[in-house]
Amino acid sequence: MQNNRVKILFVVITLSIFGFALNVAAQDRAPATDGLPKVLLIGDSISGGYTSHVIRLLKDKAQVQRIRGNAQHTGTGLEKIDQWLGDTQWDVIHFNWGLWDLCYRHPESKVQGRRDKVRGTLTTPIDVYEKNLDQLVTRLKKTDAKLIWAHTTVVPEGEAGRILGDDTRYNAAAARVMEKHGVPINDLNALTRAFGPELFSKPGDVHYSGTGYGKIAKQVADAIEAAIEK
């Protein structure tokens, strides 16, 4: 009986060692996504809404990662860009600022985000927005990644803190910066301007339904894939 217990203990120890060795070997192997191009998404909550769809669409073609939190406005971008880029050698960076920049806010507003286009103060005047973008693109170009600018999505009628048409004005300013630096534009404004009401989260909201985000993600994924293949 004692001999059998010793044999059983020997087998258990042997299997444990073998299992440990396999686990170590597995950890040493590169993850399945290693070797794929590394893609960084920078943007506000709109990008947060389409990120999971983009990851799914590009799962066998790229490692897609979005910054943590919300990129907010260009002022935030200037403060945090180095932190977001980190030490990773990015192959493609798809980026946007705008909806926060062109938003009016008032400290006494009861609307979500303190939005108030009547009494509020504009977050970033358009001339400052253009200068900030120029600085941000200059920094992004130092990464040697392929850059893709995403035009700011549409401001719908009835939005509490944003003036109808400001998205067009701010995108025109962004286009001047991108032309100067040779950065291609993914025109998400033209895409979302054509959306029906069912693709928005609710009337007067800049956010989208799941289907809406899926459509935006398809255009984002296509732009990234085209950049990878160049």
Write out the two tokens for 162: 């944003």
CB 51 within 8 A of CB 39: no
CATH 3.40.50.1110 is the classification of domain 34-229:
yes
Kindly list the domain boundaries of the chain, sorted by start residue. Answer: 1-30, 34-229
Tokens of 197: 């009401």
Closest to 153 measured CA to CA, from 224, 105, 220: 220
With a CB cutoff of 8 Å and minimum separation 6, the contacts of 159 are: 115, 117, 204, 205, 206
Token readout for 1 is 């009986």
Task: With beta carbons less than 8 A apart as the criterion, state whether 53 and 217 touch.
Answer: yes
DSSP 103: -
| Full-model pTM | 0.85
Q: In a structure prediction context, what are the per-residue pLDDT tens digits for the chain, which is 230 residues long?
A: 445 444 444 433 343 433 433 333 332 223 346 799 999 999 999 999 999 999 999 999 999 999 999 999 999 999 999 999 999 999 999 999 999 999 999 999 999 999 999 999 999 999 999 999 999 999 999 999 999 999 999 999 999 999 999 999 999 999 999 999 999 999 999 999 999 999 999 999 999 999 999 999 999 999 999 999 98
CA dist 170 and 190 (Å) reads 14
